Structure 1
Amino acid sequence: MRAIRLARAGGPDVLALHEVDTAVPGPGQILIRHEAIGLNFIDIYQRTGLYPLACPTGLGLEGAGIVEAIGEEVTRFQVGDRAAYGTGPIGAYAEAHVVDANRAVRVPADVSLRTAAAVMLKGMTSEFLARRVFHVKQGDAVLIHAAAGGVGLILCQWLRSLGATVIGTVGDESKARIARAHGCDHVILYKTEDIAGRVKTLTDGLGCAVVYDSVGRDTLEASLASLRRRGLLVSFGNASGPVPPIEPLRLSRGGSLFLTRPTLFDYVATTEELDQSASALFGMIRSGAIKVEIGQTFRLDQVREAHEALAGRQTTGSTLLIP
């Protein structure tokens, strides 16, 4: 089969297409023949070495397809089942991938495999952010950075369904139109507008109950300044670079603020949690409350171009590799 490998951390040029043997699933494992593979910012963090990997290695955590083979002791899947996964193991950038059966989920018949590949990691991230990191309730004002991105578009819709007032930041007017179409009540153009100032105006001076920040270094101060008293900053990404250290007194002076740095892997740590999160996500998609935006697709041999587009914030919605 064809698979992407990297011998060292670095820029997109380290990604190379290779012919490799198709792996055989061991006990408790399944082999999924991919129909589509999801790209995520964590892939870039791992490729660059921000999140170090032992090289040589594959890349990618998310994909969907058909179960082609099963290992011993597997009762959760049968050959021919439609399956998807969003938390690895590393190596999804390939025509097929071996995954632990208890880390994959069945894809409902009325959800396409491309949709599943586009939303497993991003959609379950949105689920735990909206429902478990902070209990968003009707009337809460929330701020979402990168509102037209992969997580952003799903999260906007999820929060809107909960009755929140959704404020999103985007880079240009074309992305603003997309964000509005996916649940944003108000859009801030971060390149030309004062984010915190606009938030305070939109919330009658109170600020937001929660800020979801996947951008990192460049938006930290604006995020903290956009919170209401006792508000929560959820820092869950580093698109612009890692967030610098924050003194606890900074949170106190901002109004007894809270800060958390969660990761999906801790919120789907058990098979039961994984199933519950995926079930909630597929339920939202099937009900029509969440419409999945696949903004762009690339062939597997175009993986370098895909990484350049994602890192350059030139994408909207989800990005897929098609093997």
Structure 2
Amino acid sequence: MKAIRYHEVGAPEVLRLEEVPEPIPAPGEVRIRVRAAGVNFADTERRRGLYDARVPLPRILGSEAAGVVDAVGPGVSTAWVGRRVVALASASYAEQVIAPEHELLELPERVSFEEGAGLLVQGLTAWHIVHTMGQLSAGQSVLIHAAAGGVGLLAIQLAKSVGARVLGTVSSEAKGRLARELGADEVLLYGDGDLTERVLARTGGRGVDLVLDSVGASTWKSSLESLAPFGHLVAYGNASGAPPPLEVEALYAKSVKVSAYWLRTPHPPELNRRAREALRTEVAEGRLQVRLGLVLELAQAAEAHRQLEGRGTVGKVVLRVP
């Protein structure tokens, strides 16, 4: 089969389309004929050796795939064969990928493979930072950084669905229009004045109940300062670099809390099931949109990385597998 591999860390050019052996499903696993693979910022950090760097090279990137089950391992029902699915699956920049049976989520017919490829990594992250971590509720307010990104656009919709007021930060007017289209009440451009002052001005000086921050170093100070009393900052990424060490003394004045979320943390099975089913239902019934910002062919993985790193994308970046 064909797959995108890299043999050394470096720039996007290290990604190569190569012939590799077809994977064989082991007990409890299925093989998916990939039709679309999700591309995430973490993939670019892996390629550069900045994250998850202990995996031996050469390596096939990717962590989520949508496609059709074409083989099952021992102990797995053959009823899966031929079914449209999406799964968290390593090495998904490929024509075929292996996934544990328990990771499979059947894809509704009205949802495209490309949309499905954006449903799990970013969809589950958005669901958990809004619900599990943020516990956002009606009448509260939330500041979402990188609001036009894949997680950001989903988080906007999930926050609005519970009746929250949403403020989002973006890097351009075009991204701001997209964030507003999907429900953001206020959109703030980076570099357009002091961010904390603008958040406070739009919340009557109180601040927001929840901040969702995937940016890290460049937004950390304003994220903390923008919290209302008893507010909560959830960190789930460091796109601009790691934030400075946290000074606990700085939290006392407003009794705020800081936490972090990582999708790879083992989740209780019931919570895992509930989140996945909620996402599938919301997307199938049209209440949640996976916005595709860039769809390229598998062989164009390097270009997908270039555009993602250059902050030139909105929504979900996907590789289509012919």
TM-score, normalising length: structure 1? 0.95
Secondary structure at 2:80 match in 1: coil
Amino acid in the other structure paired with 2:184: C
Instruction: Give the Cα separation in 2 of the matches to 1:77 and 1:40.
Output: 31
Per-residue Cα deviation, 1:8-28 (whole angstroms, up to 9, x for no partner)? 322212212110111111111
Per-residue Cα deviation, 1:298-322 (whole angstroms, up to 9, x for no partner)? 1111111100111111001101001
C-alpha contact 2:146 2:214 (8 A) present in aligned 1: yes
Give the 5 Å matches for 1:247-258: 247-253=247-253, 255-258=254-257
Aligned to 2:280: 282
Secondary structure at 1:218 match in 2: coil
Aligned to 2:231: 231
Is 205-214 or 116-125 further displaced after alignment? 116-125
Secondary structure at 1:245 match in 2: coil
Instruction: Give the Cα separation in 1 of the matches to 2:25 and 2:296.
Output: 27
Aligned to 2:14: 14
Amino acid in the other structure paired with 2:217: R
Root mean square deviation of aligned Cα: 1.5
Aligned to 1:264: 263
Gaps of at least 5 residues in structure 2 are none
Secondary structure at 1:217 match in 2: coil
Give the 5 Å matches for 1:1-323: 1-51=1-51, 52-56=53-57, 57-75=59-77, 78-86=80-88, 88=89, 90-253=90-253, 255-266=254-265, 268=267, 270=269, 272-323=270-321
Instruction: Give the Cα separation in 2 of the matches to 1:31 and 1:210.
Output: 40
Is 46-55 or 118-127 further displaced after alignment? 46-55
Secondary structure at 1:183 match in 2: coil
C-alpha contact 1:232 1:259 (8 A) present in aligned 2: yes
CA 1:77 to 1:243, structure 2 compared with 1: closer, same or farther past 3 Å? farther
The Cα of 1:267 is off from its aligned counterpart by: 6.0
Gaps of at least 5 residues in structure 1 are none
Amino acid in the other structure paired with 1:63: A
C-alpha contact 2:66 2:114 (8 A) present in aligned 1: yes
CA 1:305 to 1:82, structure 2 compared with 1: closer, same or farther past 3 Å? same
The Cα of 1:110 is off from its aligned counterpart by: 2.7
Instruction: Give the Cα separation in 1 of the matches to 2:219 and 2:160.
Output: 23
The Cα of 1:77 is off from its aligned counterpart by: 5.4
The Cα of 1:158 is off from its aligned counterpart by: 0.8
The Cα of 1:47 is off from its aligned counterpart by: 1.6
Amino acid in the other structure paired with 1:142: V
C-alpha contact 2:72 2:78 (8 A) present in aligned 1: no
C-alpha contact 1:6 1:55 (8 A) present in aligned 2: no
Equivalenced residues, count: 319
Q: Percent identity?
A: 39
C-alpha contact 2:114 2:320 (8 A) present in aligned 1: no
